Amino acid sequence: MNKLLIVGTVAFDAIETPFGKTDKILGGAATFIGLSASFFDVDAAIVSVVGDDFPQEYLDLLTNRNIDISGIEIVKGGKTFFWSGRYHNDLNSRDTLETQLNVLADFKPVVPEKYKDADVVMLGNLHPLVQMGVLDQLTQQPKLIVLDTMNFWMDCALPELLAVIKRVDVITINDEEARQLSGEYSLVKAAAKIHQLGPKYVVIKKGEHGALLFEGKEIFFAPALPLEEVFDPTGAGDTFAGGFSGYIAQSENISYQNMKNAIIHGSNLASFCVERFGTERMINLDKEEVYDRLKQFRSLTQFDIELE
């Protein structure tokens, strides 16, 4: 089985949407990525950090999905990363109310020996120095390195972020962040500028409006499945990244053609994530539901126009 190394926050989230409010629940970029990637036949591992306030049952949820957690450090007396956010009525935009780095502030990642030759590395959202620290420990160049990040790190660690972006093959980023990073409003121009920063492939996520894949002048678009109910978009971007990287790791094919399939898988899994608060839907999801929805995706986008 191919190895997928995942880095990112494992966190407590407190979320407010027009439909309700949660206290501290399980969240974090690596959590969503791992849960999503677990729908593929990959040997996945998470590198992250939590405090000893983090419940064992949350760690067990990951282990039950066959995710290796030996790279999740538990800091004695430390407090787990905490994020809280409030969504606007359209659910496409949100305000961060609070980000407490806590144990993440001094985290020095240690990649387990077994995953130093990972086939695919998914650098999920956290401090770019941690993302870099993971790349520096690899003993073999992975077939693909994917990076996800957010405006928070552009605001507080831009030089470090640019240094790690230079070393990755694929960047996944949302539309507003692509504009911030590139200084361009047009997403086509933004992708061209981001290519110049290093990544050969640029994926721009547009929430309920789907995702775009750019490779130079080539553009592919995957819609988001129109859903009757969107409850909480938290983690949708990470779930997308988990589906994308999990599928690539399973299929061992890093061609542009196959990346199109990867963004469909990512969009498919993300469509489940938003149906409940936090990780709830992903935890109760089974492979059959994922497969059935993939069929819906296909019929959503297939048409028969014959062109000369």
Task: List interacting residues with ligand AMP (CB under 6 A).
Answer: 9, 11, 13, 27-29, 83, 99, 125-126, 150, 152, 234-238
| Nearest-approach distance from CB 278 to ligand AMP, in angstroms | 7
CB 269 within 8 A of CB 251: no
Label the pairing between strands 3-7 and 120-123.
Answer: parallel
| Nearest-approach distance from CB 58 to ligand AMP, in angstroms | 12
- Sign of CA pseudo-dihedral 172, 175, 177, 180: positive
Closer Cβ to ligand AMP, 144 or 236, answer by number:
236
* Measured distance CA(282)–CA(28) in Å, rounded: 13
| Nearest-approach distance from CB 243 to ligand AMP, in angstroms | 12
Closer Cβ to ligand AMP, 92 or 261, answer by number:
92
Q: How far apart are the first and last CA of the chain?
A: 42
- Name every residue whose Cβ is closer than 8 Å to that of residue 19 and which is 6 or more positions away in sequence: 231, 232
Q: What is the Cα Rg of the chain in Å?
A: 18
Closer Cβ to ligand AMP, 67 or 254, answer by number:
67
Q: Is 21 helix (H, G, I), strand (E, B) or coil?
A: strand
| Nearest-approach distance from CB 255 to ligand AMP, in angstroms | 26
* Measured distance CA(93)–CA(82) in Å, rounded: 19
Q: Is 230 helix (H, G, I), strand (E, B) or coil?
A: coil
| Nearest-approach distance from CB 140 to ligand AMP, in angstroms | 27
Closer Cβ to ligand AMP, 2 or 131, answer by number:
131
| Nearest-approach distance from CB 209 to ligand AMP, in angstroms | 15
Closer Cβ to ligand AMP, 20 or 216, answer by number:
20
Closer Cβ to ligand AMP, 2 or 84, answer by number:
84
* Measured distance CA(260)–CA(268) in Å, rounded: 12
